[in-house]
Amino acid sequence: MASCLQETEWNLDSPAKEVVWKPVSLTHVVYPEGDFVGKCFAWFSLLPVFIIVSFVTLIAFRRELHTITFFGGLLVNEIVNWVLKNIIRQPRPCREHEVVFSEYGMPSNHSQFMWFFGVYLVLFVYIRIQYSTSSTCSLVDLAWKHVVAVGALLVAAIVTYSRVYLHYHTNRQVYSGAVVGSLVAVLWFIFTQLVLTPLFPVVVSWPLSERLMLRDSTLIPNVLWFEYASARAEARARQRKLQ
């Protein structure tokens, strides 16, 4: 407390200058005090940050090429959003409290991010997983796909509406973000399927990929079951050796 008072006294001798406090827009989310719905929407607005952290964690521990390309698509989507914002230069809606934003509002970054994630995940579940498995599919597998698809799109819709509810964007800005994110997701999925996936066997054979332990699970129908069965078989083999 003493250091703050000393700094204040020192500033009294300097010319008066208005200081504008600028928040970090990546995590700075505000909501009306006492509004429980607004508080929930504020937490939903942080989902892009949690998704990015999850992708970095998965890439670091699993080294799966499909996860890396998915994350690469998210980065491409962010670049597209930045370019569009600086071309259109549409400001954000007026708000009651003063917050200085460093970015424009058209299209909405959160909306574009979440709809890219949701649409790409839906395509991956219905097309990519079916492509790597047999033609027969059980009811449990179909139910699991439907749950994932509906959940991904529902979360994207909630985050999109939260940006309007919290007055960060207008309806047109979030709708534009949803359309652009969905379009980029479809194009990136097609590019991944037709161009990148056929190159995965070549990429994993590179010496650098072997050092980084990159892997390709394109031909494995159920990765979770494969890893579980492999770990169980290895554990039993080592147990027999010890005995």
HEC per residue, the chain: CHHHHHHHHHHHCCCCCCCCCCCCCCCCCCCCCCCHHHHHHHHHCCHHHHHHHHHHHHHHHHCEHHHHHHHHHHHHHHHHHHHHHHHHCCCCCCCCCCCCCCCCCCCCHHHHHHHHHHHHHHHHHHHHHHHHCCCCCCHHHHHHHHHHHHHHHHHHHHHHHHHHHCCCCCHHHHHHHHHHHHHHHHHHHHHHHHHHHHHHHHHHCCHHHHHHCCECCCCCCCHHHHHHHHHHHHHHHHHHHHC
Q: How many residues does the chain have?
A: 243
Percent of the chain with pLDDT over 70: 76
Lowest mean pLDDT among 16-25, 148-157, 218-227: 16-25
Phi-psi region of 64 (alpha: psi -120 to 50; beta: other; left: phi over 0): beta
- Residue type, position 41, single letter: F
pLDDT score, position 204: 82
Provide mean pLDDT across the span 96-112: 70
- The structure tokens listed for 42 are 């504020």
Q: Please give the mean pLDDT across all residues of the chain.
A: 77
Query: Above 50 in pLDDT, residue 167?
Result: yes
Distance from C-alpha of 221 to C-alpha of 215, rounded to nearest angstrom = 15
Tell which residue, 127, 157, 163, has the closest CA to residue 145: 127
Query: Above 60 in pLDDT, residue 80?
Result: yes
pLDDT digits (tens, 9 = 90+) for 35-71: 677 777 777 777 788 888 888 888 888 888 888 888 9
Give the number of other CB atoms < 10 A from CB of residue 109: 25
Distance from C-alpha of 190 to C-alpha of 205, rounded to nearest angstrom = 24
Asked if the bond preceding 107 is cis, omega within 30° of 0, the reply is yes
Distance from C-alpha of 53 to C-alpha of 70, rounded to nearest angstrom = 14
pLDDT score, position 100: 46
DSSP β-bridge partners for residue 64 = 215
pLDDT score, position 3: 41
State the residue for tokens 């909306």: 111
Provide mean pLDDT across the span 91-110: 69
Single pTM value for the model: 0.75
pLDDT digits (tens, 9 = 90+) for 120-139: 988 888 887 754 444 455 67
